[in-house]
Amino acid sequence: MLLAKVVGTVVSTQKEPSMEGLRFMLVQPVDLDAKPAGPPVVAVDAVGSGLGEYVLFATGSSARQTRMTDKRPCDAVIMAIVDNWEVRGQIKYHKGNEEMKLRKTEWKGA
């Protein structure tokens, strides 16, 4: 699983029929300090995430192991919305607590 921030949505009106009904999100992988780490990824949203939320996503064959993506040709899936994360005893992010959010880092992305 990888940590990322939802930075956008992707809309496709023409797609493989098995992909109908799936919601596509643009996620920016981040490091433990919430700084961008690699290129953005389009991922199927299996949990109803929203813009600006931090999420966990999987790629490759693991992306096809959720109920929503089983036997569908997807290469990335959002499978969890992050509530908080802690590194070596320091809280790096806590959803809903604006003062704690990325307290020691300023992410300049969307």
CB atoms within 10 A of CB 88: 6
pLDDT of the residue at 40: 98
pLDDT of the residue at 11: 95
User: Which of 6-27 are b and which e, b meaning 16 or more Cβ less than 10 Å from the residue's Cβ?
Assistant: beeeeeeeeeeeeeeebbbbbb
How far CA 65 is from CA of 10, 24, 26, in Å, comes to: 22, 17, 20
Residue pLDDT, tens place only, 37-49: 999 999 999 999 9
| pLDDT surpassing 90 at residue 31 | yes
Residue pLDDT, tens place only, 34-77: 999 999 999 999 999 999 999 999 988 887 867 778 888 888 99
Question: Hey, what amino acid is at 71?
Answer: K
Fold entry, domain 2-94: OB fold (Dihydrolipoamide Acetyltransferase, E2P) (2.40.50)
Q: What is the pTM of this model?
A: 0.82
For the chain, what are the domain ranges?
Answer: 2-94
d(CA 102, CA 110): 14
Segment 86-96 shows an average pLDDT of 89
pLDDT of the residue at 102: 53
